Amino acid sequence: MQLSKFGSKFYRPTGINQLMADLGDAFVKGHPDLCMLGGGNPAFIPEAQELFAREMQKLVSSKDFAQAIGTYDGPHGNQRFREVLADYLNDQYGWGLSANNIALTNGSQNSFFYLFNALAGAMPDGSSKKILFPLAPEYIGYADAGITEQMFSANLPTIQELDDKMFKYRIDFDSLHIGDDVAAICLSRPTNPTGNVVTNSELAKLNELALKHNIPLIVDNAYGQPFPNVIYEDVSPFWNENTILCMSLSKLGLPGARTGIVVANEDIIALFGRISSIVTLAPHSMGAALMTSMIEDREIKNLCENVLKPFYQEKIEFAKACFYKHFADLPVKFHKPEGAFFMWLWVEGMPITSKELYQRLKTRHVLVIPGEDFFIEIDSSWRHRQECLRLNYAQPADKIERGFALIAEEIRRSFGG
C-alpha cells in the first residue's frame, strides 16, 4: 500500500492506538479474570445510567426525537443545546457567553485534532509552530494528533515530595520558555494521567504568559467543572476570550455519545464550524439532544455533585487503601489524587521499564497503561519517564484489589524479590 505522508504518519503504531486497541480487545475477548485498569472509561454508575436511560426514553417519545435523528445539525452543533449551555455557564460563572462562543464536535479528541492542526504546524510564512505543554506528563491522546511531525514541545516538571508516599508535579515556571515558535499553551486540568489539578494561581500565571505572548491558552476540562466535576480540590474554572476551554460529555458516563464542547471567542468558534463542515458535515446530535433538558433544568448539577463526585471519591479512598496494603514494602509513590480517576504510580529505580512491566502484567490479565507515552517530547534520558504507570480506579472493587496485588507482586519480582 502506497501512502501519503499523512497516511504513513497516521498508520504507524502509536501509544493512543495501543491503548484503544487494548480496550477494545479486552471487551471483545472478555477474559473472566481480567482486571481492566487501563483505558479511560468512566465507571458504570447505576444511578447515572438510570438517569440517562430515563432521559433517552423521554427524548424518544418527544417531538424533538425526529429532529435529533433525522436532520443534520449546523456545523457548530445543535443550536438549542449551545444556547442552553451558554446560559448555564453564565449562570454558574458569569462568563457572558452566547451560543456563538460554543461549538460541538465528535468528542474532545476530535476538538484537539482540529485545534492543534489549525493553530500549529506549517505556517503560511514558511515557519513552523508548536503546541507547548507546560507540565509533563500530559494526556497521551495529544501525542500523535499533529498532521506534521514535531508539533509539540513540553516542559519538565518539578517534583514535590509529599507525606504518605505521595508526590505532586508542579509547573517549573523558571524553565518555561515561550519562544516565537509557540502557537498555544495547552494543559489538561485535572490532568490525565496524574490526577493533578493545576492550582488557580498556576493557571493565572499561564494566562498572563499566554496574553503576554499573544497566543491562546487551551484548557482541557474533560474531568473538570461544571461537569463532570471530578475534582477533589477547592479550585475554580477559568475562561476569558483568550482561553479555549475544551469540555466533553464522555466522563459524565457518555463516551458513546462522542460529544465534545469547545468554549472560545467567536473567531475560534467560527473556525470550528468551517473545519467541521469539511471534515464531518455536522457533529453528532444525540449527546446534545440527550443533555439539553438535563442542563436546562439543572439536573446535571445534581448528577455531578450528588452522584458522580461521591462515587469517585469513594473509589479513590479504596484505591489508596489498596495501595497502602500492597505496596507498603516497595519504593513506590503515587501522585496526589486531586481529580479525574487515575492513580499514577512512580516506581523509583525500577530495574525494568514500565513498558516491560505492562507486558508482564498483560500475561497475568491485568491491563494498565505504561507511563512512557505520556511524557510527550520529553527526553528518554530522564529515567523517571520509564518508572511510571497509570491505573484507572473507576473499576469494581474486587478488580482493583486483585489488580493492585498483582502489580505489587510483579514490581517486587522486577527488583528480584
Ligand X SMILES: Cc1ncc(COP(=O)(O)O)c(C=O)c1O
Nearer to ligand X, 248 or 292 (CB): 248
What is the distance of C-alpha 142 from the center of its chain? 9
40 binds ligand X (CB under 6 A): yes
Nearer to ligand X, 107 or 283 (CB): 107
Beta strands in 44-105 (DSSP E): 102-105
Interface with ligand X (CB under 6 A), residue from 22, 144, 202, 220: 220
Size of the site for ligand X (CB under 6 A): 14
Interface with ligand X (CB under 6 A), residue from 192, 207, 243, 353: 192
Task: Determine which helix (DSSP H) or strand (DSSP E) holds 346, and give its type and residue range.
Answer: strand 342-347
Contacts of 321 (CB under 8 A, 6+ apart): none
Instruction: Find the shortest distance in angstroms from Cβ 111 to ligand X.
Output: 8
Contact (CB, 8 A) for 258 and 106: yes
Residues numbered 376 to 415 that lie near ligand X (CB under 6 A) are none
Interface with ligand X (CB under 6 A), residue from 78, 109, 194, 196: 109
Instruction: Find the shortest distance in angstroms from Cβ 17 to ligand X.
Output: 14
Nearer to ligand X, 327 or 375 (CB): 375
Instruction: Find the shortest distance in angstroms from Cβ 126 to ligand X.
Output: 32
For residues 374 and 371, give the distance between their C-alpha atoms in angstroms, rounded to a whole number: 6
For residues 210 and 28, give the distance between their C-alpha atoms in angstroms, rounded to a whole number: 44
228 binds ligand X (CB under 6 A): no
Residues numbered 112 to 151 that lie near ligand X (CB under 6 A) are 139, 141
Contacts of 410 (CB under 8 A, 6+ apart): 357, 360, 361, 364
Q: Closest Cα to residue 287, out of 77, 122, 146, 131?
A: 77
Instruction: Find the shortest distance in angstroms from Cβ 20 to ligand X.
Output: 10
DSSP state letter for 184: E
Nearer to ligand X, 44 or 415 (CB): 44
For residues 380 and 386, give the distance between their C-alpha atoms in angstroms, rounded to a whole number: 8
Render the burial of 123-135: b for 16+ CB within 10 Å, e for the rest.
eeeeeebbbbbbb
250 binds ligand X (CB under 6 A): yes
196 binds ligand X (CB under 6 A): no
From the list 53-61, 101-109, 350-358, 360-368, the region that binds ligand X by CB under 6 A is 101-109
Nearer to ligand X, 255 or 331 (CB): 255
Instruction: Find the shortest distance in angstroms from Cβ 248 to ligand X.
Output: 3
Nearer to ligand X, 108 or 196 (CB): 108
Residues β-bridged to residue 345: 334, 389
Nearer to ligand X, 378 or 406 (CB): 378
Interface with ligand X (CB under 6 A), residue from 15, 260, 283, 403: 260
For residues 105 and 379, give the distance between their C-alpha atoms in angstroms, rounded to a whole number: 33
Instruction: Find the shortest distance in angstroms from Cβ 138 to ligand X.
Output: 8
For residues 354 and 407, give the distance between their C-alpha atoms in angstroms, rounded to a whole number: 11
Render the burial of 313-349: b for 16+ CB within 10 Å, e for the rest.
eebbeebbebbeebbeebebbbbbbbbbbbbbbbbee
Q: Closest Cα to residue 269, out of 239, 296, 295, 231?
A: 239
Contact (CB, 8 A) for 332 and 165: yes
Scanning the structure block, which residue is given the C-alpha cell 449546523? 74
Interface with ligand X (CB under 6 A), residue from 188, 292, 354, 392: 188
From the list 25-33, 145-153, 198-206, 247-255, the region that binds ligand X by CB under 6 A is 247-255
Instruction: Find the shortest distance in angstroms from Cβ 222 to ligand X.
Output: 4
107 binds ligand X (CB under 6 A): yes
222 binds ligand X (CB under 6 A): yes
Instruction: Find the shortest distance in angstroms from Cβ 412 to ligand X.
Output: 30
Instruction: Find the shortest distance in angstroms from Cβ 255 to ligand X.
Output: 5
Beta strands in 33-157 (DSSP E): 35-36, 102-105, 121-122, 128-133, 152-154
DSSP state letter for 231: B
From the list 107-115, 267-275, 310-318, 389-397, the region that binds ligand X by CB under 6 A is 107-115
Contact (CB, 8 A) for 130 and 146: no
Nearer to ligand X, 228 or 260 (CB): 260
Instruction: Find the shortest distance in angstroms from Cβ 352 to ligand X.
Output: 26
Instruction: Find the shortest distance in angstroms from Cβ 397 to ligand X.
Output: 22
Interacting residues with ligand X (CB under 6 A): 40, 107-109, 139, 141, 188, 192, 220, 222, 248, 250, 255, 260
